[in-house]
Amino acid sequence: MPAPQTIAQELQEKIYSLIKQAVEYRDEADFELASMARDARKLLAADAASAHVVLGMLECLKGKKDTSDRHFESARSLNASAGLLSNWWCAKLNLGYMSEAEAVTSAMLDPRLDINSFLTTGPIAFTCGSIKATCDLIDRANAMNTDLKSFPVETYRRAQTLMNEFGLSDRDLAQVLDVAGEVLREHKLFYAGPGAKLEVVDAPFYPDRGLYFSFDVGTSAAHAAGMYAELAGKLCDKFDPLPEGVHVSFRGIGAHQQ
Amino acid sequence: MSCTPSDFETCGEALLAEGAAEIDIRCATSRFYYSAFHSALSFHATLPSPGAAPAGSFGVHESLIKQLINPTIKNGDSRFGASRKAGYMLIEMRKNRVKADYDLDASFGDADALKTQADLKQIQTILGT
């Protein structure tokens, strides 16, 4: 029989594969998730922290934020590792709670924690607004001669320059991105791909310089445009004046037409 | 002979025909933006008072977007929210238009044009045009 940690690792890998392909929330009675949850519960006695992480991720796939958080809280009370934090971060990000994910980013940057787990999540950390925090991490990694080849360092640096120009903090960005998360939840959709797309628009011929975030969603272009209009309405309700230098929208990539 | 916002849209749709080359896709994106811009310009002209444009020198497009985002009509008027929403959505459409016409090294595909086209239809709905 495989060791509990091996089983937990395999379950986590399966979940990551499901999250990568997930377009919309899975049904609560989903057979595959129920079967994985049963396997995870069997691990509770031997490796409770890992079991709770798996259960937290499974709840995320169903769009259940409260129960997902409860499992991660239980896991944290048993073991506050960087790996646990990056899983929790991933769950919050996929459920669109960007301010909460941004706060976890800060916890992940605790110098006592292993930097390597953040090197995996860092390339998409801008999805929750964590740009300046990631630039700090890049500085730390450079000081430690860590390999950053797969890291979009230049994009982060240019984004930081624009943020300074517009007086924006990571928290400011997260609050704007939270609104996109709210719209995604209302439609019971996950964004497609590992994270948002970030376009740093700073070339001289662009009149509207700024950070343009876009979430691809697995729906038709028309449905995504409707979501974008809802997002615009919510942003106008939440912010007066609208924040300058940051823009967020949706783009339909048509996994299923609505 | 006069031209309407919907003529720009029709022109964009024709450019997006099956097997459109990148240049057609870029031009279609530009036409869709101009359709939205002219719809928004007409909408703004019908408001009882123009939106507030901040001091400074801005071009026609930037001025219109700023005015739409800062309407001076009563908040209770349904056109107040419509103006702000359309102004917000125009910012990205304009950025995509500039990308289509100026940023020739940037990758540009069908999805970009289809998004602009779908966003145009939303703006038309919001503005009631």
- Compute the nearest-CA separation of B84 from chain A (Å): 7
End-to-end CA distance of chain A: 46
Residue A192 contacts residue B111 (beta carbons within 8 Å): no
CA distances from B11 to B16, B91, B97, B117 (A): 9, 22, 15, 12
Q: List for chain A the helix, strand, coil content (%; round to 5).
A: 60, 10, 30
H helices of chain B, in order, are 5-15, 22-46, 60-69, 78-102, 110-127
Which of A129, A71, A120, A135 is closest to A96 using CA atoms? A129
In the prediction, which pLDDT does A257 show? 41
Q: Is the pLDDT of residue A165 over 50?
A: yes
A233 → closest Cβ in B81, B118, B121: B81
Q: What's the predicted TM-score (pTM) here? A: 0.93
pLDDT digits (tens, 9 = 90+) for A238-252: 999 999 999 999 999
Q: Is A252 on the interface with B (CB under 8 A)?
A: yes
Find the closest chain B residue to A230 by CA distance: B85
CA distances from A33 to A17, A90, A253 (A): 13, 18, 26
What letter does residue B58 receive in the DSSP assignment? -
Place of tokens 């976890």: A104
A137-149 mean pLDDT = 87
Cβ neighbours of residue B91 under 8 Å, at least 6 residues apart? A208, A247, B65
In the prediction, which pLDDT does A108 show? 78
Name residue A61's beta-bridge partners: none
d(CA A183, CA A214): 13
- Compute the nearest-CA separation of A100 from chain B (Å): 26
d(CA B76, CA B107): 42
Selected for mutation to probe chain A from B88, B93, B125 (highest A CB count within 10 Å) is B88
Taking an 8 Å cut-off on Cβ atoms, the answer to whether A252 and B115 are in contact is yes
pLDDT digits (tens, 9 = 90+) for B22-66: 999 999 999 999 999 999 999 999 999 999 987 776 789 999 999
- Compute the nearest-CA separation of B43 from chain A (Å): 17
In the prediction, which pLDDT does B126 show? 97
Q: Is B59 on the interface with A (CB under 8 A)?
A: yes
Q: Is A206 on the interface with B (CB under 8 A)?
A: yes
Taking an 8 Å cut-off on Cβ atoms, the answer to whether A228 and B103 are in contact is no
Find the closest chain A residue to B88 by CA distance: A232
What letter does residue A126 receive in the DSSP assignment? G
Q: Is the pLDDT of residue A258 over 60?
A: no
Buried-state track A209-226, b at ≥16 Cβ within 10 A, e below 16: bbbbbbbbbbbbbbbbbb
d(CA B92, CA B116): 9
H helices of A109-220, in order, are 116-121, 132-143, 153-166, 170-186
Selected for mutation to probe chain A from B33, B78, B94, B114 (highest A CB count within 10 Å) is B114
Percent of chain A scoring above 70 in pLDDT: 96
- Compute the nearest-CA separation of B66 from chain A (Å): 10
Task: Number of A to B CB contacts under 8 A, please give it.
Answer: 75
Q: Is the pLDDT of residue A59 over 50?
A: yes
Using pLDDT thresholds of 50, 70 and 90, give the confidence band for residue A144.
confident
Which of A159, A188, A94, A226 is closest to B125 using CA atoms? A226
In the prediction, which pLDDT does A182 show? 98
Within a 10 A sphere around the Cβ of B52, how many other Cβ atoms?
Answer: 11
Alpha-carbon radius of gyration of chain B: 15
Cis check: omega of the bond before A2, within 30 degrees of 0: no
In the prediction, which pLDDT does B1 show? 59
Q: Identify which has the larger pLDDT, A150 or A70.
A: A70
Instruction: Tell me what ipTM this predicted complex has.
Output: 0.95
What letter does residue A123 receive in the DSSP assignment? G
d(CA A109, CA A138): 11
Q: Is the pLDDT of residue A69 over 70?
A: yes
pLDDT digits (tens, 9 = 90+) for A168-183: 999 999 999 999 999 9
Token code pair at residue A142: 């450079």
Token code pair at residue B5: 């916002």
